[in-house]
Structure 1
Amino acid sequence: MTDLSDQPLDLNNPRDRKQARRDLVWGDHGFLRTRFPNRHDLGGGMCRENQPSPERIALLAEEGIKTILNLRGPSPKGFYWLEKEACEKHGIALINFRVYSRDVHTVEKIRDARDLFEKIEYPAMMHCKSGADRTGFMGVLYRHFHMGDTIAQAVDSELTLKKLHVKQGKTGMLDFFFNDYLKYAEDHDITFMDWVETIYDPADVKARFMDHWTGNPISELLRRE
């Protein structure tokens, strides 16, 4: 397991800075995001995008963004340290809140997401790698908890092909999770959070999804998230 307590790259060292840029542009496919941030506004001062470059963060700062939620979590790779440096330079709070595109989430993680949306300073931006799946999952939670949308409304808005989410891959586990609640709620008068805290079983949801999932090699090969 990588120890991230110390920065693995010294960005004051020209060689390490070049390595960090290579990590961002080539290793993390940043060249595909140069002119396409996959930007979508959710309302209430929140937007979602793909992994930002330092140049993109500078533009976000000019726009007035106060908080960036990094849904990928910390990383030893250069793209993370360039993001951290740029946020510090421009006075943006960087919050690491790791979620997953191909797995279920704990009750605690969903509860923490709800609380996080009430604590951060807005305007804010949240991102994963491609701004497709993890931002889609968190976009649903944001719209429901912070904006008051129903889960059905939020899913229809955020987990869509228009925003690059592909439900035919293992990323369809996100859709399956929310749909499991919606099916249960058809016959029970229960809120989403009450369902999460009293009915939801992450291991069961994952097992049932994998039982019916037939696989999508193209989606898994692309690994866009």
Structure 2
Amino acid sequence: MPLTDTLYNFHWVREGEAARSSQAFFGGLEGLMTRHGLKAIINLRGENGDLSWYRYERAVCERLGAQHIDAQLDSRHLPTRSMLATLVGAFETAPRPFLMKCSGGHDRTAFACALYLLHRDGWAAMPAAEAQFDPHRYGYKPKAGQHWLKPFLAFAAENAAGRPLAAWVREVYDPADLDQWLSARGLADSHKGIFEKPHRSPFQL
């Protein structure tokens, strides 16, 4: 594996179709995308036009003729329906192969990749979806407020009651139901509330 793949926590979710990584700091994004033939980025950190990493990422995509799609997630706040609908829409429209990335490629990326597999292959793909949270392969080690991410998959399967993921997200999902489900299972402190506005670290320059 090339050193930059290791540095950027790059892995295929489905070979030649969908991949995952961290933020490609230190100017290595163009090489990463070219080497793997990536045609789109699904950016899970949201639109941040005032920050250098975001402007760089957009510029690289423009040079390569790749799509750049913002589908914001927050690892410590439960997603709204519109956030998940945007993510599912990205799964459906992004050219293949595409890259899903957040900052470290651990938390939001694991969540998005798990949902992609459930969207792609149905609820029978739950074991593969749960494997996206593997701490050894991907470095998933949730911190305070991030412990809702993996349990979300069980909630989704139960709440969807057989509906495909996309239909459930667009027609049924309610973060208040997720909040109650988590609380009933002793996970009330697994998050910091329902998403209201973007939160970002002052170090994300």
Query: If the TM-score is normalised by the length of the shorter chain, which range does it land in?
Result: 0.7 to 0.9
TM-score, with length taken from structure 1: 0.68
Structure having the larger proportion of residues in helix: 1
User: Which residue of 78, 98, 119 corresponds with 1:124?
Assistant: 98
Partner residue of 2:8? Answer: 37
**Structure 1 residue matching 2:83: 3-state secondary structure:** helix
Could you say which structure has the greater relative contact order, defined with CA pairs below 8 angstroms and 6 or more residues apart?
2
Residues 151 and 171 from structure 1, CA distance in 2 versus in 1: closer, same or farther, beyond 3 angstroms? farther
Residues 108 and 168 from structure 1, CA distance in 2 versus in 1: closer, same or farther, beyond 3 angstroms? same
1:99-145, Cα deviation, whole Å (9 max, x unpaired) = 12112122233233223212111111110000011111110111111
Q: Distance in 1 between matches of 2:106 and 2:93?
A: 24
Residues 169 and 120 from structure 1, CA distance in 2 versus in 1: closer, same or farther, beyond 3 angstroms? same
Q: Distance in 2 between matches of 1:103 and 1:158?
A: 20
**Structure 1 residue matching 2:150: 3-state secondary structure:** helix
Residues 103 and 113 from structure 1, CA distance in 2 versus in 1: closer, same or farther, beyond 3 angstroms? same
Alignment pair present for 1:205 and 2:181 = no
* Number of aligned positions between the proteins: 180
User: Which residue of 76, 87, 105 corresponds with 2:61?
Assistant: 87
Q: Percent identity?
A: 26
Residues 34 and 180 from structure 1, CA distance in 2 versus in 1: closer, same or farther, beyond 3 angstroms? closer
TM-score, with length taken from structure 2: 0.73
Residue 85 of structure 2 aligns to which amino acid in structure 1? Answer: R
- Pick the structure with greater CA Rg: 1
Residue 48 of structure 1 aligns to which amino acid in structure 2? Answer: R
1:55-109, Cα deviation, whole Å (9 max, x unpaired) = 2323312431111111101222211112122222222221111112112122233
Over the residues paired in the alignment, what is the CA RMSD in angstroms? 3.0
Alignment pair present for 1:171 and 2:143 = no
- List runs of 5+ in structure 1 lacking aligned partners: 1-32, 216-225
Residues 167 and 93 from structure 1, CA distance in 2 versus in 1: closer, same or farther, beyond 3 angstroms? same
1:15-48, Cα deviation, whole Å (9 max, x unpaired) = xxxxxxxxxxxxxxxxxx8951111111151100
Partner residue of 2:113? Answer: 139
Alignment pair present for 1:50 and 2:22 = yes
User: Which residue of 151, 155, 160 corresponds with 1:180?
Assistant: 155
